[in-house]
A and B are shown apart, each in its own frame.
Chain A
Amino acid sequence: MLQIKKGYTLRAAGVPSLNLERREIPKKVALVPHHIPFVKPRLAVQEKDAVRTGTLLFTDKHRPELKFRSPGTGIVEAVRFGPRHVLEAVVIRLDEKERHESFAPVSDAALETMGKADLKSRIQDGGLWALFRELPFRNIPAGTTDPPGIIVSMGTGEPFEPHPSVYLNDAAALFRFGMRVLQKLSEHVAVVLPSEYAVPSILEEAVTHGVSGNYPCGDAGVFLYRTRTDPNQNRTWTLHGQDLLLLSRFLQEGRYPTQKIVVTAGPEAQDPCHVMVRLGAPLRHIARTSGNGRAHRFVVGGVFTGYPASGEDYLGFHENAVVVLPEDPTPEKWALFKPGYQKPTYSRAFLSRLNTRRLPVDTRYHGEERACIGCGYCTDVCPVDILPQFTYKAAVIGEMEEALAHGILDCVECGLCSYVCPSKIDLVQALKSARADLYREDVRR
Chain B
Amino acid sequence: MNENGSFLKRFRKAFDPEGPLARLGPMYEALESVFLARPRFTRNAPLVRDSLDVKRYMMLVILALIPHYGFGVYNVGRQALSAAGRAPDFFPALFIGLSAVIPIIVVVFGVGFAWEVLFAAIRRHPISEGVLVTCTLFPLTLPPTIPLWQAALGISFGVVIGKEIFGGTGRNFLNPALTGRAFLYFAYPAQISGDGVWTLITDGRTVPVDAFSGATPLSVAGGMDRLQDIHGILLDSGYTLSRLLFGLYPGSIGGTATFLAILGAAFLVLLGIASYRIILGCILGLVITAGTLNLLAGPESMPYLSLNPLYHLFMGGSMFAFAYMATDPVSSCHMQGARWIFGFGIGALTVLIRVFNPAFPEGVGLAVLFMNLFAPLLDEIEIKARLKRRVPNV
Residues in chain A within 8 A of chain B (CB atoms): 10, 12, 136, 228-231, 234, 297, 299, 301, 303-308, 323, 325, 327-337, 340, 343-350, 352, 361-376, 379, 385, 387, 389-390, 404-407, 409-410, 413, 415-416, 418-424, 426, 428-429
Q: Are the CB atoms of B167 and A429 closer together than 8 Å?
A: no
Bound Cα distance from A323 to B48, whole angstroms: 11
14 contacts between A and B (CB under 8 A): A231-B393, A297-B47, A299-B47, A308-B42, A325-B48, A327-B41, A366-B37, A370-B126, A374-B334, A385-B386, A406-B383, A409-B393, A419-B46, A419-B49
Contact (Cβ within 8 A) B40 A364: yes
Judging by beta carbons under 8 Å apart, are A308 and B53 in contact? Answer: no
**Contact A304 to B45, CB < 8 A, known contacts A370-B169, A407-B390:** yes
CA distance A337 to B55 in the complex (A): 10
Residues in chain A near residue B234, CB distance under 8 A: none
> In whole angstroms, what is the CA distance A135 to B83 when docked?
74
- Total interface residues in chain B, CB < 8 Å: 58
**Distance between Cα atoms of A329 and B392 in the complex (Å):** 46
Q: Are A10 and B48 in contact (CB under 8 A)?
A: yes
For the complex, what is the distance from the CA of A306 to the CA of B51, rounded to whole Å?
A: 20
Known contacts A336-B34, A368-B33; decide if A305 and B45 are in contact (CB<8 Å). yes
Residues of A within 8 A of B4 (CB): 333
A-facing mask of B367-394, CB < 8 A → 1, else 0?
0000000000000000100110011111
Report the nearest B residue to A10, measured CB to CB: B48
Q: How far is the CA of A415 from the CA of B55 in the complex (A)?
A: 22
**B358 is an interface residue with CB less than 8 A from chain A:** no
B54–A346 contact, CB under 8 A?
no
Do B336 and A307 touch across chains, with their CB atoms under 8 A apart?
A: no
Which B residues are in CB contact (< 8 Å) with A325?
Answer: 47-48
In the complex, which residue of chain B has the Cβ closest to the Cβ of A300?
A: B47
The 9 tightest CB contacts between A and B, nearest first, are: A367-B53, A371-B170, A415-B46, A335-B37, A343-B51, A348-B272, A409-B393, A304-B46, A332-B37
Q: Determine whether the beta carbon of B387 is less than 8 Å from that of A405.
A: yes
Chain A: minimal CB distance from B8 (Å): 10
Residue interface bits B300-337, CB-to-A below 8 A is 1, else 0? 00000000000000000000000000000110101110
- Least Cβ–Cβ distance between B157 and chain A, in angstroms: 21
- Decide: A372 and B170 in contact? CB cutoff 8 A: yes
Interface pick from B56-64, B115-123, B225-233? B56-64
Q: Which residues of B contact A373 (CB under 8 A)?
A: 54, 57, 130, 169-170, 329-330
Q: Which residues of A contact B329 (CB under 8 A)?
A: 373-376
Whether A136 touches B393, Cβ cut-off 8 Å, given contacts A306-B45, A308-B43, is yes
Q: Which of B40, B47, B55, B57 has most chain A Cβ within 10 Å?
A: B47
